[in-house]
Amino acid sequence: MASEDATGDDATVRAYDPSRDWQALWERKERFERELGGGKDDATTVRYEAKLTDDYRERYRAWVENCVEREPGCVVVATDADDRVVGYAFVLPEDLSLVWDAAVLNELYLDEDWRGTGAADALMDAAVAHARDQDLPIDRMVLDVDPDNDRASGFYEKRGFEPWAEMVAYDLS
């Protein structure tokens, strides 16, 4: 990410700091997962809710810390005027780009009250800037988006993302 903080309306985007931002990041990750699993069938909702255990939280924390240690700036947060975290973006480290031969936007989440304010654009700008600094097999960024999430799909389309492949899943249970 560029050394300067980016802004989006009243939000500022800066690099994630594990020592001060972890709890706020986790709260948003939980909301991200609940929104992803919610509104679908009951079994999906239960599955997403059930995975949010203490063990999952600690594994996610360790993974984020490992990624940030290996590649500072791969996780950025959007903060309000009081420096409270209101969203985040997480670009996988460069060495994981070989999975898709591209930069991977793993997650982008913004508190509901901040959607439509320009903060998502600021987060995306920071994520794209970070990805451009990676040495990628193919200069592109990929992400997966829930096809039922019209708002997110519209945002990514407005930002120039185009359908590239379709992800399918197989239940391992």
Contact call for residues 16 and 24 (beta carbons, < 8 A):
no
Please report the pLDDT score of residue 97 as a whole number: 87
Q: Scanning the structure block, which residue is given the tokens 């600094």?
A: 133
pLDDT of residue 128: 97
The predicted model scores a pTM of 0.89
> And the tokens for 98?
């070989």
Q: Which residue from 122, 120, 97, 102 is spatially nearest to 110, judged by alpha carbons?
A: 120
Contact 105, 89 (CB under 8 A): yes
- Spans of all domains in the chain: 6-158
Question: What number of other Cβ atoms are within 10 A of residue 116's Cβ?
Answer: 12
The residue whose two tokens read 């800066």 is 14
Return the residue matching tokens 């997966």.
Answer: 144
- Which regions in the chain score pLDDT beneath 50? 1-4
Alpha-carbon span 31 to 25, nearest angstrom? 10
pLDDT score, position 119: 96
Q: What's the rounded Cα separation, in Å, for the pair 63 and 108?
A: 16
CATH node for 6-158: 3.40.630.30
Give the model's pLDDT for residue 5: 61
